[in-house]
Amino acid sequence: MSYPRIALASSSPRRRELLAQLGVDFQLVKADIDETPYPNEAPRLYVTRLARQKALAGLACLTTAMPVLGADTIVVANNEILGKPADFAEFNRTMQLLSGRSHKVMTAVALVSSERTLQQLVSTEVYFRTLTAQDIDSYWQSGEPHDKAGGYGIQGLAAKFVQRINGSYTAVVGLPLCETEQLLQQWQEPV
């Protein structure tokens, strides 16, 4: 299966690696947007909006016509969006929320052009084992949590905290490959 050449509106190395696994020919574009949630915005609406806005921001940077893929991933516990931890205190609070229970990881993907938008939202349930103070401290000291939504990367050292997942592993990493491939295939179908 061949896919259209696209632009990827993302600075995430994980998204680049995952998209490359599909064999997609892509170029990178900048997608700087304001990621502040709207007041009372539901997590699923927030992550879907950000994916679309990133793709549209990338589209505005292009000089050649091609579809742009944008994606965003959030971690949600108790209906609260858990962002990238600013410091250890915030990280510790996040890990306490995730310890010994499940949470949702939502990844939205948007494929846009000036005429068309296709979107998909994937929600995965992730179950963490109970974390000790030592687990939390040593993971923070590793440096890995600093730029990660929800303070962890499932593909890294935090994998040892994950008892199981119900849903898409690649969506938790940052780009659901099954759904992304479906969007690319759908893009090529006659409108």
The residues carrying an active-site annotation are 72
Give kind and range of the element (H or E) at residue 130: none
Burial class (CB in 10 A: 0-12, 13-18, 19+), 73: buried
Please state, in angstroms and as integers, the Cα–Cα distance from residue 9 to each residue in 34, 81, 90, 101, 136, following that order: 14, 22, 28, 33, 32
Q: How far apart are CA 174 and CA 54, in angstroms?
A: 14
Q: How do strand 102-112 and strand 117-128 relate by DSSP bridges?
A: antiparallel
Whether residue 71 contacts residue 54, with contact meaning beta carbons closer than 8 Å, is answered with yes
